[in-house]
């Protein structure tokens, strides 16, 4: 239930603007990979190319290959809908569907593409997913209430539950804790640790301690200046990146001497 | 001694705040007052109708039997218009907001807005000269093949000037209103919610049903209500397109009448009790509009908890 991702010579554009240049990276299955780097270096942009969400933005396009267990996501004839059902995404701002109940939010992705699910299967999937997202105890008595009535941290875990309910191969998270308090953040970090037994997880974060706490490998992205493309500077085991990086810029960044 | 430094001390910004809230309140009151004044005017002018001897009312059987058929006619015409214009309008709006390439979308949006500005007499003339004759064969086919359904009972009108034609003309007239308002609302759907659906593996249509339509629901209801307002109150187009008559179930024979067209056709020569009668008809139209709007508000309010506003 999880696959690896290999990225080869990837360039990412917004219309004419080259936002991310020449990324090569190999992400292991059942691991947590953190992307770090200064604001504007293209972490979100790159992350969104991993499940073809980048092209949702007008003018967004890529060159190069992203392989999911060897299958190129960008090969002609590949349906982005299929890609996204295998590679889920959690966004920076929690975004449960406001018009749906908590339960329907969890099932939203499961019922897509005309799939039917029996009531008892649905109930057990809802419970399993919410337990998986450490939210079950908090919401089990109000599954029919709107998802937008939860706290920010609960909403984010609801979004994670919704994502794991479709049983993806990979889960991408773009600063999933940046809108949350430290306690909700810890809850989500614990969750990420549990998720990696089943899923491949990629997380973008500005929080170095978080990267150090949750990830097995860390990728440092940087940008030479405004208007220049972002690049992958260094990619290694998290311990190496934080204690013994081989590039000066990485060391400056992780030790806070950036700028 | 107890002067609190945090107490307000009449700065310019504060005065601006007061002026604005005063102006907003004034405008609100003005609208309510106007509405009330219209209602009172209609009621006073219409009063003789309700007190007069029923035999003196047009038709000779009192106001209720005079007004009933044209209320039904009004409702039928407006219902036909909305039944056609709502789905088409929403579909066109969705096409413009979520399917068409950006250039085409801008052009189409512009054309639709222009359509909304065309005077109703032009739609009426088009309905009378072009649409009505063109519909005659269709009406004949309907009468021949579906004539067993009361609404398509024959013989079909030879001129095509029927309530169905009037409803279609009204549909064309309200279409731009519904389209243009819906499009605005569809475009405002938060990207966040659209992306939430897409990231779960939704197709574009699924994204629309999961994110766009639920978000736009109250707006669509408002758009339809505005369209309905125009359909209910339309005089010229109906007067030109419909050859009037008593209430009949068939939509493809001459017959039926709407309140607005009844008023417009008869107002110039009316005086005395007949005038009061027409104004009473206007009052009824006013009440219908109010009731429909209240129902629409209630529909919106019922889903408040799930509106995403919390
Ligand atoms: N929709 C867009 N259209 C055009 N350019 C964009 C768009 N979104 C981002 N960019 C540009 O792409 C570059 C990378 O942006 P991106 O959002 O990926 O950075 P980031 O590393 O995620 O930053 P942050 O840490 O602040 O989230 C920036 O120069 C940004 O201005
Ligand atoms: Mg970002």
Contact present, A85 and A109 (Cβ < 8 Å): yes
With a cut of 70, say whether residue A236 has pLDDT above it: yes
CB atoms inside a 10 Å sphere around CB B24: 10
Who contacts B111 (Cβ-Cβ below 8 Å, separation ≥6)? none
Supply A130's token pair.
């919410």
Q: Which residue of A has its CA nearest to B213?
A: A99
Report H helices in A50-148: 80-86, 102-107, 119-132, 136-139
C-alpha B245/C-alpha B163 separation (Å) is 10
pLDDT by residue (tens digit) across A34-64? 999 999 999 999 999 999 999 999 899 999 9
Report the percent of chain A where pLDDT is more than 90: 79
CB A34 within 8 A of CB A211: yes
User: Phi/psi of residue B153, each to 5°?
Assistant: -65, 140
The answer, for A78 touching chain B at a CB cutoff of 8 Å, is: no
* Tokens encoding B295: 């129902």
**For the CA of A46, the nearest atom of ligand 1:** 18
pLDDT grade for B309, boundaries at 50, 70 and 90? very low
Q: What is the mean pLDDT of chain B?
A: 88
Domain that holds residue B243: 66-271
Give the distance (Å) from ligand 2 centre to CA of residue A14. Answer: 15
Report yes or no on B71 lying in a domain.
yes
What tokens were used for A196? 């990696």
Give, for A13, the enclosing helix (H) or strand (E).
Answer: strand A5-14
In a domain, B48, yes or no: no
Rounded Cα distance between B124 and B128, Å, is 6
Q: Domains in chain A and their CATH numbers?
A: 5-93+170-254 (3.40.50.300)
3-state SS, residue A85 = helix
Q: What is the pLDDT of residues B172-230, one digit of tens each?
A: 999 999 999 999 999 999 999 999 999 999 999 999 999 999 999 889 998 999 899 88
| Residue A56 at interface with chain B, using a CB cutoff of 8 Å | yes
Q: Give the closest residue (by CA) to ligand 1 atom 26.
A: A39
Maximum C-alpha span of chain B: 94
Average pLDDT (B10-28) is 84
| Inter-chain contacts counted by CB atoms under 8 A, chains A and B | 87
Of the CA atoms within 13 Å of residue A240, those in its CB half-sphere come to 12
Residue B241 lies in a domain: yes
Least confident span in A149-163, A186-200, B46-60, B268-282: B46-60
Kindly report the backbone phi and psi dihedral angles of residue B55, in degrees, each rounded to the nearest multiple of 5, phi listed first. -70, -20
Q: How far is CA B15 from the centre of its chain?
A: 40
Q: Tell me which chain B residues have a C-beta less than 8 angstroms from the C-beta of A163.
A: 199-200
Q: How many domains does chain B have?
A: 1
Report yes or no on B111 lying in a domain: yes
In 3D space, the residue among A71, A49, A65, A61 whose CA is nearest the CA of residue A204 turns out to be: A49
Q: Identify the bridge partners of residue A31 per DSSP, sorted by sequence position.
A: none
Cβ(A41)–Cβ(A97) below 8 Å = no
The verdict on residue B158 lying in a domain is yes
With 90 as the cut, is the pLDDT of residue B53 above it?
Answer: no
End-to-end Cα spacing for chain B: 44
* Chain A residues in contact with B202 (beta carbon < 8 A): 81, 84, 109, 112
pLDDT of residue A1: 65
- State if residue A40 touches ligand 1 by the CB under 6 angstroms criterion: yes
Q: Does A244 score more than 70 pLDDT? A: yes
pLDDT at B305: 61
Is there a domain that residue B282 lies in?
Answer: no
Does B182 fall in a domain? Answer: yes
Higher-scoring residue by pLDDT: B296, A257: B296
Which atom of ligand 1 lies at the shortest distance from residue A226's CA?
A: 29
| Structural tokens at position B62 | 């009192």
Q: Is pLDDT above 70 for A197?
A: yes
Please tell me which residue of chain A has the smallest CA distance to B307: A99
CB pair distance less than 8 Å for A166 and B201: yes
| pLDDT (tens digit per residue) in B106-137 | 899 889 888 888 888 999 999 999 999 999 99
Contact A153, A179 (CB under 8 A): no
DSSP A235: E
Q: Give the CA dihedral B249, B255, B261, B264, nearest 10 degrees.
A: -150
A113:B195 CB<8 A: no
Residue A115: CB atoms within 10 A of its CB come to 9
Inside any domain, residue B180: yes
Across the interface, do A98 and B192 touch by the CB < 8 Å criterion? no
Q: Provide the CATH number for the domain around residue B244.
A: 1.10.3720.10
pLDDT digits (tens, 9 = 90+) for A139-196: 999 999 998 889 888 999 999 999 999 999 999 999 998 877 888 888 889 989 988 9
Residue of A136, A64, A141 whose CA lies nearest to A106 = A136
CA distance A210 to chain B (A): 24
At B310, the pLDDT band (50, 70, 90 cuts) reads: very low
The answer to whether B246 and B255 are in contact (CB under 8 A) is: yes
Q: Is A19 in the pocket of ligand 1 (CB under 6 A)?
A: yes
Residues 6+ apart with CB under 8 A from A91: A159, A174, A176, B192, B195, B196, B199
Cβ contact (<8 Å) for A100 and B306? yes
pLDDT of residue A166: 92
pLDDT higher than threshold 70 for residue B160: yes
Instruction: Indicate whether residue A120 lines ligand 1 (CB < 6 A).
Output: no
B57 C-alpha to ligand 2 centroid (Å): 74
Residues of B in Cβ contact (< 8 Å) with A95: 190, 192-193, 195-196
Interface contact flag, B310 A148, Cβ < 8 Å = yes
Does the pLDDT of residue B20 top 50, yes or no? yes
- For B104-127, give one letter per residue: b (16+ CB within 10 A) or e: ebeebbeebeebbeeebeebbebb
């Amino acid at each position: 239930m999880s696959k690896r991702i290999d990225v080869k010579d990837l360039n990412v554009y917004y219309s004419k603007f080259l936002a991310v240049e020449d990324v090569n990276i190999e992400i292991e299955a059942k691991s947590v990979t953190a992307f770090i780097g200064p604001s504007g270096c293209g972490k979100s942009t790159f992350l969104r190319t991993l499940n073809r969400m980048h092209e949702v933005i007008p003018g967004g396009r890529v060159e190069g290959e992203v392989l999911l267990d060897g299958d190129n996501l960008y090969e002609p004839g590949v349906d982005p809908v299929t890609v996204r059902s295998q590679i889920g995404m959690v966004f920076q701002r929690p975004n449960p569907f406001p018009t749906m109940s908590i339960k329907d939010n969890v099932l939203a992705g499961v019922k897509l593409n005309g799939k039917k699910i029996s009531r008892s299967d649905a109930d057990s999937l809802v419970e399993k997913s919410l337990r998986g997202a450490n939210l079950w105890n908090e919401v089990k008595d109000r599954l029919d209430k709107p998802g937008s009535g939860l706290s920010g941290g609960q909403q984010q875990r609801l979004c994670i539950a919704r994502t794991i309910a479709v049983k993806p191969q990979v889960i991408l998270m773009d600063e999933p804790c940046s809108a949350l308090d430290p306690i909700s953040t810890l809850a989500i970090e614990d969750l990420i640790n549990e998720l990696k037994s089943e899923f491949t997880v990629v997380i973008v974060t500005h929080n170095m301690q978080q990267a150090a706490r949750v990830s097995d490998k860390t990728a440092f992205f940087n940008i030479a200046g405004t208007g220049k493309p972002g690049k992958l500077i260094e990619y290694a085991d998290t311990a190496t990146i934080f204690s013994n990086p081989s590039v000066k810029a990485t060391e400056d960044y992780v030790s806070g001497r950036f700028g | 001694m107890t002067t609190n430094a945090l107490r307000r001390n009449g700065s310019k910004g504060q005065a601006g705040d007061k002026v604005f809230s005063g102006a907003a309140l004034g405008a609100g009151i003005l609208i309510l007052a106007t509405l009330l004044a219209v209602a009172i005017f209609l009621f006073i002018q219409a009063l003789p109708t309700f007190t007069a001897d029923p035999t003196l009312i047009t038709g000779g059987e009192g106001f209720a039997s005079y007004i009933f058929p044209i209320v039904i006619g009004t409702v039928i015409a407006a219902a036909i218009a909305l039944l056609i214009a709502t789905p088409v309008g929403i579909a066109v709006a969705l096409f413009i907001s979520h399917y068409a390439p950006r250039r085409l979308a801008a052009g189409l949006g512009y054309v639709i807005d222009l359509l909304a500005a065309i005077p109703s007499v032009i739609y009426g003339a088009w309905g009378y000269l072009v649409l009505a004759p063109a519909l005659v064969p269709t009406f004949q086919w309907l009468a021949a093949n579906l004539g067993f359904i009361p609404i398509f009972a024959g013989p079909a009108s030879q001129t095509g000037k029927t309530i169905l034609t009037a409803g279609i003309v009204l549909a064309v007239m309200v279409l731009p209103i519904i389209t243009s308002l819906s499009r605005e609302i569809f475009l405002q759907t938060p990207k966040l919610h659209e992306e939430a659906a897409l990231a779960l593996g939704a197709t574009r249509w699924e994204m629309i049903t999961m994110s766009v339509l639920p978000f736009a629901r109250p707006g669509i209801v408002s758009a339809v209500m505005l369209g309905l307002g125009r359909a209910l109150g339309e005089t010229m187009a109906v007067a030109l397109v419909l050859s009037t008559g008593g209430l009949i179930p068939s939509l493809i024979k001459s017959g039926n009448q709407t309140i607005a067209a009844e008023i417009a056709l008869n107002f110039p020569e009316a005086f005395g009790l007949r005038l009061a009668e027409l104004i009473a008809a206007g009052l009824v139209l006013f009440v219908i509009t109010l009731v429909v709007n209240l129902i629409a508000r209630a529909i919106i309010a019922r889903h408040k908890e799930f509106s995403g506003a919390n």
